[in-house]
Structure 1
Amino acid sequence: MAGYDAESGGAGRGLDGLPVMALSVRESCRLDADGVIETLRPHEAAGYLVREPHLIVSRPAAARRLNLSEFQAFDLLELYAFVRPARYCLPTLGGLMKALSLDLPVATLEDQCMAMRAVAERLLAEAGAEIWRYRAGAERVAGMMARAGWAWGPMVMGAVRRFPDHSRDDGLRVWTALPEWEDMGPPPPPGDDPVDPASSESRLAELLGNASETREGQRRFAAAATHSFRPREMEGGPNMQILEAGTGTGKTLGYIAPASLWAETNGAPVWLSTFTKNLQRQLDQELSRLYPDPTRKARKAVIRKGRENYACLLNIEETLTAVMQRGALPLGGGADRDSVLMGLVVRWARFTRDGDMIGGDFPSWLGAHFGAARIAGLTDRRGECLYAACQHYRRCYIERAGRKARHADLVVANHALTIAQAANRYGDPDLPKRLVFDEGHHLFDAADSAFAVALTGLEGGELRRWIRGKESGGATRARGLRNRIEELIADDADAKALLDGVLEAARVLPSDGWASRVAGAAAMTRFETFLMEVRAVVLARANNVEFGLAVEAGVAAPPPALLTAAGQLAEALSGLARPMVALAASLLARLDEDADILETGDRGRLEVAARSLKLRAEMVKSWMEMLLSLGGTVPDIFVDWFELDRVDGRERDVGMRRHFIDPTKPLADMVFTPAHGVLVTSATLRDRAADKEGDGWAGVDLRSGAKHLPVTARRLAVPSPFDYAAQTRVIVVNDVNRMDAAQVASAYRELFLASGGGGLGLFTAIKRLKATWDKIAGPMEEAGLPLYAQHVDPIDTATLVDIFRDDPHACLLGTDAVRDGVDVPGESLRLLVLDRVPWPRPTLLHKARRDAFGGTAYDDMQTRMKLAQGFGRLIRRAGDRGVFVILDARTPTRLLEGLPEGVVAERLGLAAAIASVREFFGR
């Protein structure tokens, strides 16, 4: 490919001279520069792509399909990301056409080739138009990308130079174009005026509008939710309302109504917490009903995520500087992918809504194009922030979001962040006093993750990087503790000595390359020696070493060598914790002693550093407690075990883990108790089988943490308005051998064909998912039914679900992550197939909880809930119809009792099941 010619302004080969390639599973189509159409087999298509850059959609998808490594291409997705930065688009040809309002035939591969050329023409014309809204800084960025060998560079330069850029933006130094945030005074203490049911119902009516039909269940929900927005009656006893709202009730607006009223009346935010980032996005869309004016919405509603989700401007600057120092590529060279990535990143950073790179307006599919690790490296994922010492501090996306949240009415967060905020800042007056937990059936799992302790190689290495920063070569830009606080304590000899002590003691933590040294019995530190002994115990005691998953071993009767290593590591960690605690105390003392001279930025840095040190010192102390308990008695509230974590058979991590048997106890203590009102809601909270015996709420109290509060929670179940008996069909297929991959794959193929698409296949193992995709992708595509798959397609899960939702003929294969995050109304999801009963995975943690919470009854409850949640994905609105299929003849009837009342499962052979699906959908 010719390099970029700065003198010619990017003139060179135009679109008419580009060959185009459209790909499918079995064959491909090539349109050459002369308009000749050629049908190709996969190896022929691969040969063409390697020899010459083609116009395609998604280079990673093409590489995956044709088993290619790096190759040059004119990728339409990259062109779109440049021309329309921070604008949503599905990473498919159909998604591009929809975003550009192009209505062209794409039924055949030949049609697709012509449509791809039309998409490119539209995008280049847009970039060359006088009224192009994204012109600011574009020429400088395009020039850098062109010099780096970006295929589109010359053509884009030719387009953007048609009209001058009057913005004067540098383009590359994007931070100079971002507005600075301004500090506002601390908000006054929140009021405590109640929200009454009548007011809540009135606000609900406003949200729905005059044209909407009143739903009795939704009205009851909005009225009952007000209990969480009344003054609490006793310290440590929040008003807790548990609301199960069947699908179709409209629970989201049902709690937005009283929450927004309380926030407006009392001048304080309400946090609305969901389980997944995808659900955060859906909730944000619902808030547009409350705030139709985008400017007002930006002030009143804020999405909050962990720092690791947001772009770090300093990381962007340092990475951009590094790639630009490489200079232009020689003629004929391939593209510098890092430079191309950074060009697209700075274009996005100039126009993004909030700087969210994980689930926000950042093109998520860029991770597949350039590597997810490169994207993650641009966020604040290591706790390395310099805060006020950073030159970009006053333009920082993260700081801006945090400040907006303090003055907003509604803060949309996820369970992980909400729990972490409360647990890590216990007693902080800025914490919200009113909390809403949507998707409340995930609270147990969220709390389990939040309060677990992992004494592992990865965690130890992360702590070492946080303390010591970058110690070796490579792309990491980790900034250590010395970088963050040294100038703040320059005149304090004692604090400097403590800092030196922390840095020196941290040498015991695992350094780069620890995993290979541990596996090769060549440990360099006490920490690595402990990991080496743990690994040996796991391999000696585990039963499933030959499989590719994580393997576990109990902590009982540890060998002498392991006990010795644990004792020595505990001693070394004690030597690390002491100076960390002392340094934190010294920094806090500085806040008091120098209160009259410290600038605001320095105060903030001292406070953040002290809090971070205390938190990490507490983690180190927890590690010590775990080590010292080896060979003795583990506190009965915990379960400990050793684990060797593996991915695709490769060792990833090793160490010792500790979880609460009941994680809702710390959830209640640290999150619920300080609050004044808590609302927990979901479509599936009760175990319906237990409810028939009058004990359905007992399981809810167990999983939500309500049983640990001194005040009894109020409860209400609002039934779904849907007629599930008429709208659904449930089939257990009883003649497919679930151990035979070929039989399972053929069952999926024929069921998907029978429904005409709109099928979601859920698997309990990634290996079986991949095997099924390999066997059926070709036949499905030949039948006009595109098949997508998690862990196969180089696309993140949320985007895969979006693609699936967009095409009623598509089918999707996935795991639990898809089941929990999918919300696909209408025909796009009309058939859901499980490969087998989703029993709990038999881990040591599960065994401990099973023993504590009721034995087989606990297993049954968990499995019934998963089946109910999966079934609930089928019917999302009144006109939906769907079939729920389980390919497991061993499905016990008692597990199906968790399905809605009136739904009766049929046990059929595969042929009869296929006929039933055809008949149900009128095919």
Structure 2
Amino acid sequence: MNKRFVVVDLETTGNNPKKGDRIIQVGVVVVEQGKIINQFSSFVNPEISIPSFIQQFTGITNDMVVDAPLFSSIAPILMDYLDGAYFVAHNVPFDLSFLQNELDMCGYNTFTGPVIDTVELARLLMPTEESFKLNHLATSLNFVHDRPHQADSDAEATARILLYLLEKLKGLPLLTMQRLKPIIKRFNSGLEDILQTYINEKLTTADLKVDNTLDEFRQLVIKKASEPTKDTTVNEIPYFHDEVNTVEERLQETMEGFEIRKSQKEMMDSIDQALMENQHLLVEAGTGTGKSLAYLLPGLFFAKKNETSMVISTHTVQLQQQLLERDMNILKNTVPFSFRSAVLKGRSHYLCLRKFEQKLNEQLDQNYDTLLSKGQILVWLTETNEGDVEQINLPSGGRVFWNEIQSEAKTCLGKHCPWFSRCFYHRARNNAYGADIIITNHALLFTDITQGHQLLPSYKHIIIDEAHHIEEVASDHFGSSTDYFSFTHLFSRLGTLESSDLMQQLFMMQQEIGLNLDDYFEKLNELILDVKYELDDCFTQIHSLVVKRVSASKNEIGRKSLRFYPHEMKGNGWKEIQEAVARVQMYLKDTLKLMKRIIDEISLNEEDLNFPQSGLFTAMKGFYTNFSEEEGMLEELLLHYDPNYVYWIEVDVRGAKNATFIYNKPIEVSQILAENFFSKKHSVIMTSATLTVKNSFEYLIHRLGLEDFGPSTKIIESPFLYENQVQLMVPTTLPNIKEVDEDEYIYEIVMSILDIAKTTKGRMLVLFTSYDMLRKAYYQLKDFIVNEEFVLIGQGISSGSRAKLTKNFKQFDQAILFGTSSFWEGVDIPGEDLSCLIIVRLPFSPPDNPIFEARSEKLKELGKSPFMELSLPQAIIRFKQGFGRLIRSSHDRGVVFVFDRRITGTRYGKSFIQSLPQVPLKENTLQELLYDIENWL
């Protein structure tokens, strides 16, 4: 391809040329004929001082640029390179805006040629990458990039990435290129000519050879499904306990230096025995036990020996992926037989090819994120066997598009779908049938239970990792919820007769097939407008009442909740709400009746529908089912009452006036679990690092309804030497929160965090129980940090998921990470990246939490202490999870600060300490403790 690409990277004094930031280094790499032909780099004198954090970030100091040329001196060289070329950069808007600003200041014409953004191109052509940062891509492609954030090294890395991406674009199947062409037109990068050149090359040369790994069908190219591996096992499968030594030898061959630890062997033996004896088992396995292999090995031997399926359920998708990508490979190299594993997730994880085909063909005005998502999926389809959304890194707006193309039971055509034989969801289900190991998650596990076991293949044995979540997940799945946005999402899918959505498409379709349903559709259109108005009014009234009842101020952040009893909705405001609910129910039922009439009329002609028409009709039936479910949910939540359930409303005080969410959940799940789960399984193995309270499983056995099953229990001690690796410290100089106002308390903890950070050089995770307190402490600490000494990262403040925030934290030498809720567990930061953990308050549930309140009332009725039976055990398990964030390997060392004086000043506080491994506890003034840390670290 006879085109010239000039790759430019700039280092600057900041990120805004309009505010006076300047260029300090230029890197240029010229690419022609598929190779690098020229390079140029120079420091630039910015005529202003370089901020210290930029010096730290780039390694470029004021001394290095003081004698460098001014930009005006190198501008002619740059203009010469760029003449008639593509301007290429990794994040074009940044580099081009600086270049244009500097050229303008020197009196030159700005650049007007085509541009290519390698971030955009990488997003399109490498859709499964975790990150599109230059460093990550260079590492992923094995390119040497030894001086990141220096312009010459960055420009060279970008040039190599560009060459790789152009080669990948050129290698795409012709049909995929042709489908990409109308999408690429709307991209920021000028890729049209390049893509057309590649299309012409394929059309005019004999480069149309058949790729046997790909399948062309209905104008899409997808990867052919790989055949499930045949089971070649001929010999009798041995018992696991007879094979442990052989397994250990094979593990040592596979993983250099591996040995089965004493604690791991203990756990394997307990699980093997429980499976053989059809026992339920609770295993608390301390951090570092290696529990994944400890349950997978005996579980797999048992499944294979007994020709059954072993289900493995995890709480997080991350652990599910780890089991699939890492542990299954270890097992394949370890066990003396072949086996088959499968992953099964909730249906919404899988792409529906029929819906994607339909959306791809729609030429409506689409936003950038939707177009990019379409392009990414076209490329991804040539690579994926699974069609699982977890594999693809969609842009933020792409999640909305995914909701329109994900697999759904209610819109599935089943065997009548032309894509059925290639369907990702059905492929995943088929793979799961007959698999020796089925990896799933708690959410799907309990969806399966609530839906009468229609999702997972039949199983009698299951291993549940992260089992401390079982009560909470079961409670969620046996409860109900609805909100205003669930209805508006449905309405946006249906649209109106004036929009180009489902209703208008169905209206046109019924005319095409000669039905005379225009009056029905016009009436439905009117009814939908009425329903929307009544729903908005109803949810707004509920929102207003809750805000008044909880006395929430507009300055408060987050949601406020109000518990209610549907059969006792009386008093101020409730009467009007009941009337509004009655009106909503009337309109909803009329709407459903009319929809049913339209569906019944079209059903009479269903055999005459062509493929796109049958897809539309299925979408309408799916919409009707969803709408009917939401109507039923609203009725159940606001008009019916079950004394075994707790009902509450949550409102977003600072959100929209109709931002109202209504819930119910069973007060206790113990009986439900006993009847619907434990009694129907031969052996349920539950494991986690946090199942006991003061070394007893009694709390969890009671909460999960296991008393009548006589489960076995086992505590496996961590192999880590906590007494040498951890110091637990309680400063006596911090005030008790109940003795001072919140502002004074936050000031004291912020000053203490800063003092500790100076000693530990950051590398600190601070865990809060309240987001409001986290936010206030974050902004106060930010004001006290001088010269960007520490990088401060706050959950809910700094953008990104938990995984992204954790990754950012690891990238900086002196970072402090503030976390709440989800950060109390599942965060893995081994090594020196984390040296200090601060637990601001003991993690008791707020007493006004509706489900907690209802459970407390139930315990009081039984003459029990809600604090001792519920509040304290819950807090201890959560505290243990938080504590477990610090030591993730046998080499880690660190200090845990507990700012809550109740841990040593109350009788119950000792229960928290007793639930931890044996660690040295120091209680002293902060200054004395800091002196001890400095010496110890």
In which range does the TM-score fall when normalised by the shorter chain? Answer: 0.7 to 0.9
- 1:750-793 Cα deviation digits (max 9, x unpaired): 43443234322323344544555556679989678655443344
Which residue of structure 2 aligns with residue 539 of structure 1? 547
Given that 2:461 and 2:682 are in contact with CA atoms closer than 8 Å, whether structure 1 keeps it comes out as: yes
1:561 aligns to 2:576 (yes or no): yes
1:115 to 143, 153, 159: 153
Given that 2:5 and 2:88 are in contact with CA atoms closer than 8 Å, whether structure 1 keeps it comes out as: no
1:430 to 452, 457, 478: 457
One-letter amino acid of the counterpart of residue 712, structure 1: G
Q: 1:212 to 1:171 in 2, by over 3 A?
A: closer
What is the correspondence of 1:9-88 to structure 2 with a 5 Å cutoff?
Answer: 11=3, 14-16=6-8, 19=10, 31-32=25-26, 35-37=42-44, 38=46, 55-56=89-90, 76-86=118-128, 88=129
1:153 aligns to 2:191 (yes or no): yes
Deviation (angstroms), 1:686:
0.7
Which residue of structure 1 aligns with residue 106 of structure 2? none
- 1:828-878 Cα deviation digits (max 9, x unpaired): 333222343322133222211223343222222222211110111212222
Given that 1:271 and 1:434 are in contact with CA atoms closer than 8 Å, whether structure 2 keeps it comes out as: yes
What is the correspondence of 1:385-464 to structure 2 with a 5 Å cutoff?
Answer: 385-426=412-453, 430-461=457-488
Which residue of structure 2 aligns with residue 329 of structure 1? none
One-letter amino acid of the counterpart of residue 764, structure 1: T
Deviation (angstroms), 1:438:
0.5
Deviation (angstroms), 1:205:
3.1
Whole-Å separation in 2 of the counterparts to 1:401 and 1:645: 38
Given that 1:441 and 1:704 are in contact with CA atoms closer than 8 Å, whether structure 2 keeps it comes out as: no
Deviation (angstroms), 1:310:
2.8
1:363 to 373, 393, 400: 393
1:919 aligns to 2:935 (yes or no): yes
Which residue of structure 1 aligns with residue 880 of structure 2? 868
Could you tell which deviates more after superposition, 745-754 or 811-820? 745-754
Whole-Å separation in 2 of the counterparts to 1:22 and 1:134: 40
Q: 1:28 to 1:410 in 2, by over 3 A?
A: farther
Q: 1:652 to 1:448 in 2, by over 3 A?
A: farther
- 1:206-242 Cα deviation digits (max 9, x unpaired): 673354223222112112213553475xxxxxx4211
What is the correspondence of 1:103-182 to structure 2 with a 5 Å cutoff?
Answer: 103-106=144-147, 109=149, 111=150, 113-128=151-166, 140=178, 144=182, 147-151=185-189, 153=191, 166=208, 176-179=220-223
1:844 to 850, 864, 868: 850
Given that 1:195 and 1:226 are in contact with CA atoms closer than 8 Å, whether structure 2 keeps it comes out as: no
One-letter amino acid of the counterpart of residue 681, structure 1: T
Aligned-partner SS, 1:394? helix
Given that 1:580 and 1:617 are in contact with CA atoms closer than 8 Å, whether structure 2 keeps it comes out as: no
Q: 1:797 to 1:198 in 2, by over 3 A?
A: same
Q: 1:864 to 1:392 in 2, by over 3 A?
A: same
Whole-Å separation in 1 of the counterparts to 2:173 and 2:791: 36
Which residue of structure 2 aligns with residue 859 of structure 1? 871
The number of residues matched between the two structures is 829
Given that 1:14 and 1:155 are in contact with CA atoms closer than 8 Å, whether structure 2 keeps it comes out as: no
1:739 aligns to 2:749 (yes or no): no
Deviation (angstroms), 1:280:
1.5
Aligned-partner SS, 1:177? strand
Given that 1:763 and 1:835 are in contact with CA atoms closer than 8 Å, whether structure 2 keeps it comes out as: yes
Deviation (angstroms), 1:824:
2.8
- 1:440-487 Cα deviation digits (max 9, x unpaired): 00111111211111243234445667xx83447789x7799989x999
- 1:622-659 Cα deviation digits (max 9, x unpaired): 64344334xxxx4331111233245x544563253211
1:797 to 802, 806, 813: 802
Which residue of structure 1 aligns with residue 739 of structure 2? none
Given that 1:20 and 1:54 are in contact with CA atoms closer than 8 Å, whether structure 2 keeps it comes out as: no
1:549 to 546, 554, 558: 558
Q: Percent identity?
A: 19
Whole-Å separation in 1 of the counterparts to 2:221 and 2:857: 59
The answer for unaligned runs of 5 or more in structure 1 is 1-8, 64-71, 188-192, 233-238, 327-334, 515-523, 589-593, 595-601
Whole-Å separation in 2 of the counterparts to 1:773 and 1:92: 27
Aligned-partner SS, 1:818? helix
Q: 1:231 to 1:220 in 2, by over 3 A?
A: closer
1:348 aligns to 2:380 (yes or no): yes
Given that 1:460 and 1:510 are in contact with CA atoms closer than 8 Å, whether structure 2 keeps it comes out as: no
Whole-Å separation in 1 of the counterparts to 2:935 and 2:827: 26
One-letter amino acid of the counterpart of residue 554, structure 1: R
Whole-Å separation in 1 of the counterparts to 2:789 and 2:122: 27
Given that 1:734 and 1:907 are in contact with CA atoms closer than 8 Å, whether structure 2 keeps it comes out as: yes
Given that 2:125 and 2:165 are in contact with CA atoms closer than 8 Å, whether structure 1 keeps it comes out as: yes
Deviation (angstroms), 1:916:
3.9
- 1:569-617 Cα deviation digits (max 9, x unpaired): 56667778999999999999xxxxx9xxxxxxx9999999999988986
Which residue of structure 1 aligns with residue 103 of structure 2? none
Q: 1:564 to 1:337 in 2, by over 3 A?
A: closer
Which residue of structure 1 aligns with residue 692 of structure 2? 686
- 1:865-895 Cα deviation digits (max 9, x unpaired): 1111011121222222122223444555336
Q: 1:429 to 1:317 in 2, by over 3 A?
A: closer
Aligned-partner SS, 1:404? helix
Given that 2:725 and 2:893 are in contact with CA atoms closer than 8 Å, whether structure 1 keeps it comes out as: yes
Which residue of structure 2 aligns with residue 305 of structure 1? 345
Which residue of structure 2 aligns with residue 659 of structure 1? 665
Given that 2:828 and 2:885 are in contact with CA atoms closer than 8 Å, whether structure 1 keeps it comes out as: yes
1:217 to 253, 257, 263: 263
Whole-Å separation in 1 of the counterparts to 2:623 and 2:578: 30
Deviation (angstroms), 1:415:
0.7
Aligned-partner SS, 2:825? helix
Given that 1:56 and 1:73 are in contact with CA atoms closer than 8 Å, whether structure 2 keeps it comes out as: no
Q: 1:159 to 1:625 in 2, by over 3 A?
A: closer
- 1:338-373 Cα deviation digits (max 9, x unpaired): 43443233223322352222xx32126x32xx5643
Q: TM-score, normalised by structure 1?
A: 0.75
Deviation (angstroms), 1:76:
4.5
Q: 1:508 to 1:90 in 2, by over 3 A?
A: closer
One-letter amino acid of the counterpart of residue 422, structure 1: I
The answer for unaligned runs of 5 or more in structure 2 is 29-40, 56-70, 72-81, 98-113, 608-612, 736-741, 860-864
Q: 1:734 to 1:820 in 2, by over 3 A?
A: same
One-letter amino acid of the counterpart of residue 751, structure 1: I
Q: TM-score, normalised by structure 2?
A: 0.74
Q: 1:119 to 1:222 in 2, by over 3 A?
A: same
Given that 1:175 and 1:395 are in contact with CA atoms closer than 8 Å, whether structure 2 keeps it comes out as: no
Given that 1:127 and 1:159 are in contact with CA atoms closer than 8 Å, whether structure 2 keeps it comes out as: no
Aligned-partner SS, 1:412? strand
